Amino acid sequence: MSTTERAPQSARTAPSRGERIADWTDGRLGIYNFRFLIRKVFPDHWSFMFGEMALYSFVVLILTGLWLTMFFDPSMTETVYHGSHTPLQGIPMSQAYASTIEISFDVRGGLFIRQLHHWSALIMIASLCVHTLRHFLTGSFRKPRELNWLIGFTMLVLVTLEGFVGYSLPDDLLSGTGLRIAEGVTLAIPLVGTYLTLFLFGGEYPGNDVIQRFYSFHILLIPGIVLALVTVHLILVFYHKHTQFRGPGRTENNVVGQPLMPHYTAKAGGFFFLVFGVLALLAGIAQINPVWTYGPYRADQISQGSQPDWYMGFLEGALRAMPAWEFVLPGGYTVNLAVLIPAVVLPTLMMMVIALWPFLEAWVTNDRREHHLLDRPRDHPTRTAFGISFVSLYLVLFFGGANDVLAERFHLSLNQITWAVRIGIFLVPAVTYVVTRRICLGLQRRDRDKLLHGRETGRIRRLPHGEFVEVHARLEREQEYSLLSRDVREVLPAPEATDADGVPNPRARKEMLRHRVSRWLYGNQIPKPTREEMRHALEHLEPGSSHGQISPNGHGPASSNGQVSSNGHLTAGGHAAAGERESGQEVH
């Protein structure tokens, strides 16, 4: 701290060592200028932890991956195994597979690190999937976060690809089968399939270069891109500030939560060690990817019940469900639809729909405002129903990839399971969409009923004329505020074909399309209670009182007398129910 007067030399005290180090660092890095980050506020909600789980799993992946690179040999040169694992003695295999066996049985702690690396990859991808779904259902992708949504979605795709590439490195029989499928999918891409296959495999499958090339992708290219995207993603999170759910004191212009130092740092540090501990526990007690039981890869062999890691199960299911369709173009070029549609077209469409959804909503609503408050999933029934139906499609394909295992374990017909998956691809998402939307609308009706009729207390009262009614109580003010602050979108009006002078509207088709999509997204929702409806409820609860004033957000004043109205509803704490309709009939 600078002063205008210098203290006498005898009154000065020597600065502590920590202060000297801080001053030295600040003189070269200017760290004091970043003290505003200490007061950065983070909302406190359990759903935000999925992103942290993905980040912490990524840290564990980097640390364990660095350790594994010191022992893994990504060579496809053939050797004969003479290691400590007796069942594989004298069997020809690649150097990649032999080094994986050596890590598992001969390197101290090698099996634990291998399994920790694998479990971290699975948990990271699962956390990213749930994290992305949470952002989708709550609408956090709206302006100004469209770019961050694309960055996060790109990370999900890259991490999934990274998992597949790393899964293929041991060159065991199971991963080699997955590589064979990947080679067939690459060849099915029109025009460029053969060139991409040559780039990946270095010639005819399996070739001698695929492991080395995948190894470079796995430890350098993809992790470098993901690390850069994570950095940009976190910077944008800090810049745009965190989103938060609606509630008292929470607006589009502030963030209510805990500061970075010391509260959030302590919680985040504890959560990191919790995630790391769970991953270590899984790595120590739950065996995963035992490559020594599969044996080295041979192109003429495959094991029954081969299943990829869960994140690739949907692709396996799509391939198994697709009929063997193909046709030959003039010139002898074969188009294999049995691979092209399920493994190229379908995943591409699924990714494009999710990636471009924010821009669809922005185009339909023409909303240019910044949004920092989140929606509850029930507040947007169509968006929520679409997201859950998307998940149901993924699950149908996922179980379709295990049709042989299901047939064996449950003694069912393989063909019947396959046909059930083919039908379920179209039927299950449609049914899920309808059911989910009806549930969301039902929850909206319940919220409206609670606002107008209060919550049920479970207390029964007998009125003077002998009728028994349940006592209702007004909602807590915080919950009431959250329900009344729900953002309800209006459906865009249908455009006019011509103007007042009879001139055709040149934008009629585009505006009609926007109107129809808007009606699909925001039509038939349950409206919030109006101020008049809230006032009517309060006036009924407290007749003759002066408590009919309604605040601008639709709330009525709280009461504290604890009396019971003639219909049995409490007047304590404010209104509990609108006991009469406008027609005057009593409602219980």
- SS3 for 461? strand
**What is the spatial distance between Cα 286 and Cα 228, in angstroms, rounded to a whole number?**
32
- Can you state the angle between helices 173-188 and 146-168, rounded to 10 degrees? 130
Name the token pair of 194: 């053969």
The whole-number pLDDT of residue 387 equals: 96
299 class by beta-carbon count within 10 Å (0-12 exposed, 13-18 middle, 19+ buried): exposed
The whole-number pLDDT of residue 569 equals: 44
Amino acid (one-letter) located at 570: L
- Any alpha helices (H) in 286-336, and if so which ranges? 291-294, 313-321
- Can you state the angle between helices 222-240 and 146-168, rounded to 10 degrees? 160
The whole-number pLDDT of residue 6 equals: 64
Q: What is the DSSP track for 464-522? A: TTS-EEEEEEPPPHHHHHHHHT---PPPPPPPPSB-TT--B-TTHHHHHHHHHHHHHHH
pLDDT truncated to tens, each residue of the chain (588 aa)?
Answer: 444 566 566 666 777 887 888 788 777 777 676 666 677 788 888 888 999 999 999 999 999 999 999 999 999 999 999 989 999 999 999 999 999 999 999 999 999 999 999 999 999 999 999 999 999 999 999 999 999 999 999 999 999 999 999 999 999 999 999 999 999 999 888 888 889 888 888 878 877 889 999 999 999 999 999 999 999 999 999 888 889 998 888 888 888 888 877 788 888 899 999 999 999 999 999 999 999 999 999 888 887 778 888 999 999 999 999 998 988 888 878 888 999 999 999 999 999 999 999 999 999 888 888 899 999 999 999 999 999 999 999 999 999 999 999 999 999 999 999 999 999 999 999 999 999 999 999 999 999 888 888 888 888 889 899 899 888 777 888 888 888 888 888 888 888 877 777 778 788 888 888 889 999 999 888 888 888 887 787 666 544 433 444 444 444 444 333 334 434 344 433 333 333 333 333 333
**What is the spatial distance between Cα 36 and Cα 465, in angstroms, rounded to a whole number?**
66
The whole-number pLDDT of residue 374 equals: 92
Name the token pair of 297: 């890869």
